[in-house]
């Protein structure tokens, strides 16, 4: 039988059978529960969600989450190029935004196409076949959404060879993205984690913990928080979000309401012992040996010598060991504190194609100027001080595209 792949675009995660979600997005990936929460979060003004259901001879075998967003180009443009773009925008205001069709997930740190492992094991089709099917269908769907740019968002190096092959045939170009951050939990307790840190970082971390631990704070792990608690959590998240330099999605109270109902979600909460007010929280997902540290909120009026972030982090480490986790993934941005606490930076790449050939060549040339140093000022400062921490950047070679 001739193997025939097809892709149908759907408007909701609920249109895809749960069994297929479970096969295609098992832990440590964010599964159907993640996409359900995003859909219920009233994010329609920011994103349009869609899902590619890939079938082999009529049998569903893979899922490709996708979404559409008008993206501020300042998120990726180097400073000098951005100055030129802002001048152009005085004549064409829309120039500072690019309607983009993304293959991947809003808020997920790494891009992933979910493929039923039974199909790959049986060697009926390859990962390359499915990715190519997604690319061809996405190009057509992007036109329907009037999205000039198509992007495979934040894909890790394990997909490099497949996406390099597609880039060669479909003329995509690579664009360095914000790295993710990962901690490997050594041994069986928090003391083992601390001892695994480099000596210079360990000494600084212990000094901060020595000041942080006596602070009058109670710690709790909260699942299914009540409405009053949710209100406080969202208020703290909003304050923290407003201070951030890089913004892609703006979450809503509804998101926190719906994500809190999922069994994977747990809030690590710090409360003042006398007032019982929440001064900080970290939303973490328990994914069978892997923890994703997703969102935080901090009361910046708290005394600086409480070192709230580091107290919150060590409680997250304590909890992660308790549930048997071996890794903690802490996402993008806020790199200095993450590197200080022993995170390894994980290289991620966007693979892009502009529908207009002239604009495609411009974006392709600009993409070569983008690096970690240009994406995040805090990361640039840190890498300047510690150049040995900068990992090698794996790009598609010029001859491949």
By DSSP bridging, strand 348-354 and strand 149-156 are antiparallel
CATH of domain 181-345: 3.40.630.30
E strand residue ranges, 197-239: 217-222
Rounded to whole angstroms, the Cα distance separating 139 from 101 reads 9
- Contact in structure between 394 and 179 (CB atoms under 8 Å): no
Looking at residue 25, its pLDDT comes to 97
Looking at residue 74, its pLDDT comes to 65
* Distance, first Cα to last Cα, the chain: 33
Looking at residue 216, its pLDDT comes to 96
- Contact in structure between 202 and 340 (CB atoms under 8 Å): no
Q: What does 150-170 look like in DSSP terms, one character per residue?
A: EEEEEEEGGGHHHHHHHHHHH
Looking at residue 244, its pLDDT comes to 66
Could you give phi then psi for residue 317, rounded to 5 degrees?
Answer: -65, -45
Rounded to whole angstroms, the Cα distance separating 282 from 296 reads 4
Looking at residue 97, its pLDDT comes to 76
Looking at residue 81, its pLDDT comes to 58
By DSSP bridging, strand 97-103 and strand 149-156 are parallel
Rounded to whole angstroms, the Cα distance separating 165 from 400 reads 8
User: What averages of pLDDT result for each successive group of 10 residues across the chain (401 residues)?
Assistant: 84 97 96 97 94 96 96 63 59 70 91 95 92 98 96 95 96 93 96 94 94 95 95 93 71 95 97 95 96 94 94 97 97 87 92 92 86 82 70 44 44
- Read off the tokens for 79: 């400073």
- Read off the tokens for 142: 């992007």
Rounded to whole angstroms, the Cα distance separating 398 from 38 reads 37
DSSP 232: H
Find the length of the chain.
Answer: 401
Looking at residue 363, its pLDDT comes to 84
Query: Which sequence spans correspond to the domains of the chain?
Result: 5-179+348-400, 181-345
- Contact in structure between 171 and 353 (CB atoms under 8 Å): yes
- Read off the tokens for 223: 């699942």
Looking at residue 401, its pLDDT comes to 44
CATH topology of domain 5-179+348-400: Aminopeptidase (3.40.630)
Looking at residue 307, its pLDDT comes to 95
pTM exceeding the 0.95 threshold for the entire prediction:
no
Rounded to whole angstroms, the Cα distance separating 161 from 163 reads 6
Instruction: Collect all residues with Cβ–Cβ distance below 8 Å to 401 and sequence separation of at least 6.
Output: 164, 167, 168, 171, 172, 173, 174
Q: CA angle, corner 150, sides to 250 and 355, nearest 5?
A: 130
Looking at residue 396, its pLDDT comes to 46
Chain-centroid distance, C-alpha 2: 37
Chain-centroid distance, C-alpha 341: 19
List C-alpha distances in Å: 108 to 3, 180, 222, 292, 319: 32, 10, 22, 10, 22
Query: Is 114 strand, coil or helix?
Result: strand
């Amino acid at each position: 039988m001739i193997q025939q792949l097809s892709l149908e675009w759907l408007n909701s995660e609920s249109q895809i059978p749960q069994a297929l979600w479970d096969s295609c997005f098992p832990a440590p990936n964010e599964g159907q529960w993640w996409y359900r929460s995003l859909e219920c979060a009233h994010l329609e003004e920011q994103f349009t969600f869609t899902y590619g259901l890939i079938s082999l001879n009529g049998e569903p075998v893979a899922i490709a989450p996708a979404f559409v967003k008008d993206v501020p180009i300042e998120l990726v443009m180097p400073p000098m190029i951005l100055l030129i773009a802002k001048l152009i925008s005085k004549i064409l205001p829309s120039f500072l935004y690019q309607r983009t069709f993304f293959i991947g997930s809003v808020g997920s740190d790494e891009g992933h196409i979910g493929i039923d492992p039974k199909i790959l094991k049986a060697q009926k089709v390859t990962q390359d076949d499915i990715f190519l099917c997604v690319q061809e269908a996405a190009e057509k769907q992007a036109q329907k959404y009037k999205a000039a740019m198509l992007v495979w968002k934040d894909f890790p190096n394990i997909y490099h060879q497949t996406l390099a092959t597609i880039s060669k045939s479909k003329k995509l170009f690579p664009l360095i993205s914000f790295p993710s951050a990962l901690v490997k939990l050594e041994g069986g307790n928090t003391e083992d984690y601390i001892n695994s840190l480099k000596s210079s970082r360990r000494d600084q971390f212990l000094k901060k913990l020595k000041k942080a631990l006596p602070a009058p704070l109670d710690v709790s792990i909260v699942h299914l928080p009540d409405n009053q608690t949710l209100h406080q959590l969202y208020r703290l998240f909003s304050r923290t979000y407003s201070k951030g330099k890089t913004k892609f999605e703006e979450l809503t109270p509804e998101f926190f309401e719906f994500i809190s109902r999922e069994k994977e979600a747990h809030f690590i909460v710090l409360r003042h012992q006398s007032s019982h007010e929440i001064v900080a929280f970290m939303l973490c997902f328990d994914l069978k040996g892997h923890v994703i540290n997703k969102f935080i909120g901090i009361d910046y009026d708290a005394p600086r010598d409480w070192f709230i972030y580091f107290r919150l982090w060590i409680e997250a480490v304590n909890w992660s060991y308790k549930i048997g986790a071996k890794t903690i993934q802490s996402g993008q941005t806020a790199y200095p504190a993450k590197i200080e606490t022993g995170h390894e930076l994980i290289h991620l790449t966007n693979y892009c194609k502009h529908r207009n050939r002239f604009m495609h060549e411009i974006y392709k040339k600009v993409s070569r100027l983008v690096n970690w140093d240009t994406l995040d000022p805090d990361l640039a400062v840190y890498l300047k001080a510690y150049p040995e921490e900068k990992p090698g950047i794996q790009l598609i070679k010029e001859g491949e595209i």
